[in-house]
Structure 1
């Protein structure tokens, strides 16, 4: 017969996987008999069977207790014993939870049809007359044991499948709750709008738990409880950050009712139960803390551990949402454009650069920087006046914006210096873009002054994150040094920063 090697390999793999899930079970025999001769006879019969463990009990009163301890795969019991009738013992075995389904073979000195019938009626699986043949004993033990082992494995497989299905159902519910929360947070236009969304998310994920949200206020330097849900009790409506162990330790912090001195000071100690705090953080900055409390009987640590990923995902998502909302609010309050040139101001440049660098770190991309200023700008101001200088700045800004993509960010850095932030661009392409800007300004920017046409040139320094620095400051410094080299080299040119030595 020719065996397909692929089929054989698949079969071996399946057997290996099955062995990992269901470790090989040994056959465990329990003999209940008061006769020493019978015990020794069965022991000798099984002595050569390497996968069979043999146990015996001479006292039928102790048989149930012993069976509970050794978990036999088959029970052999005598029909006639002192103190307890054999058929009564069969009834006891079948009434006992641990031995209810274990195969049971009744041993008797004679063949009696009505006794056999009663034994089978009470739940016996087999009947043998003493002293049986060795091969017959081994065959029956193996047959019944293997059937029982298969029964146990089927039950275990069913339990595993049921647990897996419940876990998948839980994950599906968690995913739905997280998706719903994400959509709701995107529609929030202010921080108070987010409180209901986060409370609802935790109520769905941790239904038995109550909770509260506390956020850090810059004006007071304290944490402020902004909302609660369920029967959550707090001892302080506002508190110092050091009153919360989760903030101090910068990690998830659980506490149990049996350790009240270890609980956070801002949570009420009056009610029974266990609590935990989850920091709301982004980029090392603590924005707030989410506190949950459950009844002690629910074993909060175990309960939260099962849903840890979802619980922390809500906190992380909330941290990003708060950061975005606060940035949006700050940009509304502050002027983000330079009033003279119409491009973004330095404050917006700094915020945008930090944001683009964080995005680049997440997506493993680059951020390009071009720092430029006008050659001999002071000479224009001194010769033609500051009004003409302002006109030059406006025309330069217009030209630079016209020659960049819509997603590129042009900012006035200060005086005649400008910064261009170009996301997701390689250094080679960035330098090409800078040279194009240099040429466009030289040939296209022309200013009329008293019937005289004036033209300007610019010098540009080019740098890229993370190639020229691991932070915004380092990248800006590299671009500034490259700009200095462009000026030193004769102006009206673009120079790329040199790669730092490692």
Structure 2
């Protein structure tokens, strides 16, 4: 113990008559204690440090004795408010305990639990300041780790809550368009730092078409299936985390990390979700930081892809069931059930908005005789070809339907009577020119007759319009078939024209 410290120790009152033992034990305690002890004078200059101080901070007493203690242990990340708190306690001769970040002589960080105490002599005169510093670096590291774990868990709980809400919306979607709207909004909310796209296979299965996108990135309208490693390998692919990896040909830059996640419905890959993180460019950020972030986002992205896959499968199944209930299985046209429901809606709309609405009733000429002579297989071919031609001629919003047998009807919202007559005749001509292959030969040419009616001249209800259209159709049959007849009286036909 230095002479200065011995002088300081002698100024302390003895607790009993064994003053020599007291000083000896005090000397041993201060020499061997692991805590760092610093004693300064009233000007806050270094007077004495113990060996624990030298071990903890790397400053030898001989090198710092007489130096200002202020700033000796501070560094760039030392909290200014904690430092000012210490200085105010010194100035006010207060006892203080505070956690503060200090730095060693070599620049390493050391978190300490600092206890600052003023020292008074026997006369009560304030003579020195003493600080005892306990290394709590490991404790702070554990606390920081705990806070990080808790923050991550809180983030995961937040993401799970959002994902639960997203799932509910996804499964509530009645159509693919609704589903795509939910996907776009949900992905932007779940991963705002991402930019991405959802692609669905085209009918040819060699390319994928863009269906929706989010974020600020540039999206390709179409990508080739062979350009994506995830689709080629048949599993999700993360780019930006492995020592050996190759970018997909459909990506813009090799420095942007991304995920490619196949969308699978009913065991079949139907699309791809591409999620990129341009803000985490590997050219400007450390690999460790990128890998840590991607690992956090990988699990969430997989869950999103899984939920979207299930939702797409759900929408497809719902659409298939709906089609089965409203589609004619032979011609793929709308059936009677769909027609009646749609016709009621269109009549109400036409009445409400004053818009045009027409109805075309079609019937294949001599179909029963044709069916009896050539067989039901040939008859099915005729009906399928009629249905295909109707879809080609009567495009949306026009709706061709098969009511049953060889009876067809076309719901024509927005189409006036004269235009409906012309369109029906164009279909009649196209049908009469149709070549139908059957086996090694060809079937005889077929024709159709049609009756056309319009709202409101032929009634304000579906049943009335159908009745007038059928009457016009029968008159077409009576006139020799293969013609189009209006259900309106001649004077009304002139008015309609």
| TM-score by shorter chain over 0.5 | no
Please give the range of the TM-score, normalised by the shorter of the 2 chains. Answer: 0.3 to 0.5
After TM superposition, the score normalised by the length of structure 1 is 0.41
